Amino acid sequence: MMSLEMESCDRGQAAEVPRVPKSARGKRSVRKKEAQSQVMCAFDLLATVAGKLLDEGEGSAGAPALTACAKDVRVKQEQCNEEREHLKNEVTDQDSCNESAILPHVVFQHSMNHARNEYPKAKSEDQDKESSMISSTKAELSSNFRAIADLWSPESVEAGDAVASPMPTAAGGFHKNAPDMYNLLDPMDVDMKPPPLVSSDSTGEMPRGLKGVAGYSVDRDDDDDDKSSGCTTHPSTTANRDFRPNCTAEHSRVRKLLTCKYRNAAPPRMHKSDLSYSDVERKPSFRNKKMHYTRQRTQRSTFKRRKLFDRHTVLASEFGRANGKGNTKVTKRDSHAAFLKANKGTESMPSQKSGASNDCHVKLKIKSFKVPELLVEIPENATVGSLKKTVLEAVNAILGGGLCVGVLHHGKKVRDDSKTLMQAGIGQDDVLDNLGFSLEPNCTHNPLQVQPPEDTSFMETIDITEPLARIAPADSSCKHGEIDVSHELAVTPLTMNYQGSDHDSVHSPDKVYRNSRALVPVPAADPDAGAIVPVNKSKRSPEQGQRRIRRPFSVAEVEALVLAVEKLGTGRWRDVKLRAFDNAKHRTYVDLKDKWKTLVHTASISPQQRRGEPVPQELLDRVLAAQAYWSQQQAKLQPKTPPLTEARLLT
């Protein structure tokens, strides 16, 4: 996965070609994207847990919570069983999971023996590629960079044909900017990541770097789940490591399978009533996945078939769309009691909270907590009991480390525990709308991450999410995974992108968080959404068409987009996606195209009319320049009309 993009840089020239017949481009088959990703399913354990907590209320923190969770899990499992059938058809793919959940995705592989066996095979191709890439990556980075710069330099432009080179006019700018792009990447990917952690595993590390190199990656948000491919991660646990690869392979496979399923299984048009929650994100996800897997079509098909034959059970807890994702919902005015109760069960809600505002008590009712998504894959022949056990283990692993509650206000994490609610700006009234809670896996450090502003837009209810750590546990190794995870979490505060790799599962906390962002924006659409927990049942058919949650482009993303378009031109959105947003699973080429469209529009209107985060004028100028340049190029390619125009003018 990683890096192929780089190559494009090298071969920049080729890239420049405005458009190549599809056939020619087709070669991209080489595209590497492999199979990364893991499949994850979302489990709304949290929600369940929450419910439990509320009900039982007991607990002080840790242990009780665990217990509760375990139970819930079980319950969930059962529910899952019921819905299994349903799910099978409606499997949510990772994206959906990702988006929705946020949390750590856990994948459990029960008897994945075959997975192991398969792994080598499945990954071999990619691996080779990767390894080679990896080895060369860093070294190449600089060279590539240079190459790019050269490419863009005036000279090269001159030398080359206009057509071949990227916007001449912009050349200077590119040149200049190129570095920025990389910087952008690096800082996040490289810098943030704690070298030590990854270092042990070169494999793990590289992915990130490569990614960064390859394309800008701004995806902190990650959806990542996909990132599975990178394997990585915790040096610490050997077991995990071993496990991971397998997981990855499996995940990939599963994903693919899922994807296939979608296609095959999903009726073109389902009745709303028939739809399952998963439907909601399905579409989007599907698309994304496709992208990633495009290169492996062949394999994919195979997988597809496979899936049909051997079906594993996949449980997804969260189906729901974004809404579902939710997290915990707090109802505005509820009883204080409820709040406390919840609090009690879980953690610590800020005692201050209640206490802080002397005069005004902030009343929150937490209806449910969302649990991290878990993906469980086990053979059909596995017993229900084993399934339950697996899930239970996973949950315990997650919770075992203890949970911490994070408080989000207006999308930002409130880190200072000593602040009073008032000081934190959490007022009575606005609280509900702007306050969010998150459950985090053992937070010793407390790393927090700030959620993207976008997330902020929540709904009236407060969502609490919990990014639990992702567990990477595999069957037996679950526990270890958990430990590691927590560790990782603690350690890696700001990471962005990812860590990772795809491979696994381990996301940094941040990442998790970001994912979690998903939690945030749950569309209010369904009333049920709040209920989240219910994985099932009922009502929820509406999901199907759910619209993807809005994820405004950040300036960094815009820059990456501009950069890519400057180089590739308009009309090659897939390439743009691959080049600059390969890691951003939630950005499809269509999204990029649309964004470009809006950017062009934005650049044309007065600053006062613009909304959202202001995009630097410089970027907008580049947008216009690039747009003009590429439009012209396009026109040249089809000189039919141009001549006429010209002639006319002349005449």
Partner DNA sequence: CTTAGGG
Partner DNA sequence: CCCTAAG
State CA 486 to chain mean position distance: 19
Please give the helix or strand (H or E) that residue 556 lies within, else none: helix 555-568
Q: Which of 312, 315, 321, 325 is nearest to 285 (CA)?
A: 321
Shorter beta-carbon distance to DNA: residue 381 or 638 = 638
- Tell me how far, at minimum, the Cβ of 457 lies from DNA, in Å: 12
Shorter beta-carbon distance to DNA: residue 25 or 610 = 25
- Dihedral angle computed from the Cα positions of residues 319, 322, 323 and 327, in that order, rounded to the nearest 10 degrees: 90
Longest dimension (CA), the chain: 88
Q: List contacts with DNA (CB under 7 A).
A: 19, 25, 283-284, 286-287, 290-291, 294, 545, 547-553, 570-575, 586, 589-591, 593-594, 597-598
- Dihedral angle computed from the Cα positions of residues 287, 293, 299 and 300, in that order, rounded to the nearest 10 degrees: -10
CA distance 383 to 361: 49
- Where b means 16+ CB within 10 Å and e means fewer, 622-636 reads bbebbbebbeebeee
CA distance 511 to 25: 34
- Tell me how far, at minimum, the Cβ of 451 lies from DNA, in Å: 16
- Tell me how far, at minimum, the Cβ of 622 lies from DNA, in Å: 19
Shorter beta-carbon distance to DNA: residue 368 or 546 = 546
Q: Would you state the structure tokens that stand for residue 347, as one six-digit string?
A: 């953690």
- Tell me how far, at minimum, the Cβ of 539 lies from DNA, in Å: 20
- Tell me how far, at minimum, the Cβ of 529 lies from DNA, in Å: 16
Beta carbons of 227 and 37 less than 8 angstroms apart: yes
Beta carbons of 524 and 538 less than 8 angstroms apart: no
- Tell me how far, at minimum, the Cβ of 76 lies from DNA, in Å: 27
Shorter beta-carbon distance to DNA: residue 176 or 547 = 547
Scan for tokens 């646990």, then name that residue.
237
Scan for tokens 């863009």, then name that residue.
152
Q: Which of 607, 627, 629, 631 is nearest to 617 (CA)?
A: 607
Is the backbone of residue 47 left (phi > 0), alpha (psi -120 to 50) or beta? alpha
- Tell me how far, at minimum, the Cβ of 317 lies from DNA, in Å: 21
CA distance 224 to 226: 4
Q: What is the DSSP letter of 89?
A: H
Tell me the three state secondary structure of residue 516.
helix
Shorter beta-carbon distance to DNA: residue 290 or 336 = 290
- Tell me how far, at minimum, the Cβ of 325 lies from DNA, in Å: 14
CA distance 255 to 304: 10
Beta carbons of 555 and 610 less than 8 angstroms apart: no
- Tell me how far, at minimum, the Cβ of 311 lies from DNA, in Å: 20
- Tell me how far, at minimum, the Cβ of 593 lies from DNA, in Å: 6
CA distance 271 to 275: 6
Shorter beta-carbon distance to DNA: residue 148 or 291 = 291
Please give the helix or strand (H or E) that residue 453 lies within, else none: helix 453-456
Q: Would you state the structure tokens that stand for residue 348, as one six-digit string?
A: 């610590």
- Tell me how far, at minimum, the Cβ of 294 lies from DNA, in Å: 4
Beta carbons of 217 and 189 less than 8 angstroms apart: yes
CA distance 81 to 288: 28
Shorter beta-carbon distance to DNA: residue 527 or 545 = 545
Shorter beta-carbon distance to DNA: residue 216 or 243 = 216
The torsion angles phi and psi of 331, rounded to 5 degrees, stand at: -100, 145
Is the backbone of residue 532 left (phi > 0), alpha (psi -120 to 50) or beta? left
CA distance 105 to 88: 18
Q: Would you state the structure tokens that stand for residue 139, as one six-digit string?
A: 């070294």
Q: Which residues, including other chains, have CB under 8 Å from residue 575's CB and lie 6 or more apart? A: 8, 15, 25, 564, 568
Shorter beta-carbon distance to DNA: residue 475 or 575 = 575
Shorter beta-carbon distance to DNA: residue 54 or 563 = 563
- Tell me how far, at minimum, the Cβ of 151 lies from DNA, in Å: 20
Shorter beta-carbon distance to DNA: residue 284 or 345 = 284
Shorter beta-carbon distance to DNA: residue 246 or 633 = 633
Tell me the three state secondary structure of residue 394.
helix
Shorter beta-carbon distance to DNA: residue 159 or 637 = 637
Shorter beta-carbon distance to DNA: residue 141 or 556 = 556
- Tell me how far, at minimum, the Cβ of 587 lies from DNA, in Å: 7
Q: Which segments of 266-378 does DSSP mark as H helices, in order?
A: 279-293, 297-309, 322-325, 336-345, 351-356
- Tell me how far, at minimum, the Cβ of 385 lies from DNA, in Å: 37
- Tell me how far, at minimum, the Cβ of 458 lies from DNA, in Å: 16
Beta carbons of 514 and 455 less than 8 angstroms apart: no
Shorter beta-carbon distance to DNA: residue 493 or 571 = 571
